[in-house]
Structure 1
Amino acid sequence: MRYDTKINFFNSEEKKYNPRVHQYEGGAKLVNQEMANVTDLGLTRQVEIFGTFKEGRKTIRLINKPPEKWSFLMLENDKNKYFLLSSLSLSKGYALIVGENNAKN
């Protein structure tokens, strides 16, 4: 298995106005970067896990444990934000199932 895609984990905070510097502060902050194996989640597996099929769901396999607190992730060369749907701790790493929108279904 090749870990050939860079994953960026972000934690998003609500933007707040700081009157001292006259700017908004907060928003998405980079938490961690990892190399991962990324594949599309197949039709059969989606129906088994979620009961429905939706495009844009991916399986991400990591060697290291993902950060404890993160809101969304972005893939290298992809402008979409992916949100956690499910996760697994495997004997040889970790697997995340993510989707393009924040809804669980």
Structure 2
Amino acid sequence: MRYNHEIKFFSEDKRHYNPITSQNEGGTGLIADVMGNVTDVGADRSTKLFGSIVQGIKVIRLVEPIDEKWAYLTIDDGKTKYRMRTTTTPLKNVSILVGEDIGKA
């Protein structure tokens, strides 16, 4: 298995709501930058897992788990943010099922 994609994990812990300005303030911070294997979830598997065909679902495989709390990840410095749906930790590697972040700032 090739680990040929750069996966960056980000945290939003420093982000907070300011009631005076009615805006979210603060930024996001990079937690980890690791190499991983990325594959799309096919239509058959998507139907079995979610009961319907869901677009934008990917399986990310890593050698070591990310121990810190993270909010979203990006793949190969893309603009698309992916949020965790579920994760499994078999005997070897770590598999994370992520979906595209829709509508969240």
TM-score, with normalisation over the residues of structure 1? 0.82
Query: What CA RMSD, in Å, does the superposition of the two structures yield over aligned residues?
Result: 2.1
* Deviates most, 82-91 or 47-56: 47-56
CA deviation string 1:24-57 (max 9, x = no partner): 9621110011100000011111111111212111
Matching residue of 1:74 = 74
Structure 1 partner of 2:62 = 62
Q: Which residue of 1 aligns with 2:46?
A: 46
Q: How many residues align?
A: 97
In structure 2, what residue type is equivalent to 1:14?
R
Q: Which runs of 5+ in 2 are unaligned?
A: 19-23
Looking at secondary structure, tell me which structure has more strand per residue: 1
Q: 1:86 to 1:49 in 2, by over 3 A?
A: same
Q: 1:1-105 maps to which residues of 2 (within 5 A)?
A: 1-12=1-12, 13-15=14-16, 26-101=26-101
Equivalent residues of 1:11, 1:70 under 8 A apart: yes
Distance 1:77 1:66 in 2: 18
CA distance in 1, matches of 2:8, 2:67: 11
Contact 1:32 1:67 in 2 (8 A): no
Q: Compute the displacement of 1:68 (Å).
A: 2.8
Identity across matched positions, percent: 36
Provide TM-score, normalisation by structure 2: 0.82
